[in-house]
Amino acid sequence: MPPHTQPAAFTAVFIEDDERLARLTKVYLQSHGVLVVHTPDGTSGLQAVRTRRPDVVLLDLMLPGMDGLETCRQIRGFSDVPIVMLTARDAEVDRVVGLESGADDYVTKPFSSPELLARLRAQVRRARGMTGPGLAAPLRVGRLTVHPSSHSATLDGERLNLTTFEFALLRVLAERPGRVLGREQLLDLVRGNADEAFDRSIDVHVSRLRQKLGDDARDPRLLKTVRGVGYVLMQEEP
């Protein structure tokens, strides 16, 4: 399947307390085939994610009661659904904290509706394994096996619980074992456009990916840092 094929109709849970923004965004997304389930707070949002099992979650950071970060953490406790964080803040520290909480992508208000739709579609494509050939062969790097066709990965036969961005990052690295990839190069390969993201996000995702691989952050054996250059997935453990 071509890498830019648009996903079929999909469902998005939109957790946003600004009723006007939610209404306008919902109308736009639904006019492009997205089924939008809107909830005004984190508690009802969690319930909607559990019961509706959406293809993607659009989550506002500033919510009444339980904020977006805690909502994101709780969703990650039971689901690997793609999460796009939405916020008025644009400080890098907020973006990093959002990613560390389990978000896959980040959009800052005010946003372009076409861009938001494109981001959501990109997450759904990755989650459905539509970012490359549908019957791509498994990638084996030492004890690690990446399955592009099923959008999954195993380590020593045990399935890894990865977000869509983490899987895309791991796949890019597994396709190039032993090769050092710089941050901008990784962003370009994973997202398709390095200008859409920020350099620091790769460090956050790599840190989370290392944890799931059981790699020691101080002395990683699988996913190594080449200081000042980038990251490399080792073909064999030292």
In this predicted structure, the answer to whether residue 195 has a pLDDT above a threshold of 60 is no
Q: Residue 124: which of 3, 10, 212, 1 has the closest Cα?
A: 10
In this predicted structure, the answer to whether residue 131 has a pLDDT above a threshold of 60 is no
- Residue 200: per-residue pLDDT: 60
The matching CATH number, chosen from 1.10.540.10, 1.20.1740.10, 1.25.40.10, 1.10.10.10, for 139-233 is 1.10.10.10
Q: Outline where 90-198 has alpha helix (H).
A: 92-100, 113-127, 164-174, 183-191
SS3 194: helix
Q: Which helix (H) or strand (E) holds 193?
A: none
- Residue 116: per-residue pLDDT: 92
- 160 vs 196: which has the higher pLDDT: 160
CA distances from 191 to 63, 77, 125 (A): 28, 25, 11
Cis peptide before 110 (omega within 30 of 0): yes
What is Dmax (Cα atoms) for the chain? Answer: 56
The structure tokens listed for 11 are 């469902």
Q: What is the pTM of this model?
A: 0.61
Q: Are 222 and 144 in contact (CB under 8 A)?
A: yes
Alpha carbon 203 to chain centroid, angstroms: 14
- Residue 124: per-residue pLDDT: 87
The predicted model gives 68-82 an average pLDDT of 91
Q: Which residues pair with 14 in a beta bridge?
A: 38, 58
Return the domain boundaries, the chain.
10-127, 139-233
The strand pair at 56-60 and 83-87 is best described as parallel
- Residue 24: per-residue pLDDT: 95
Q: Which helix (H) or strand (E) holds 111?
A: none
What's domain 10-127's superfamily in CATH?
A: Response regulator (3.40.50.2300)
Q: φ, ψ for residue 205 (rounded to 5)? A: -65, -40
- Residue 89: per-residue pLDDT: 64
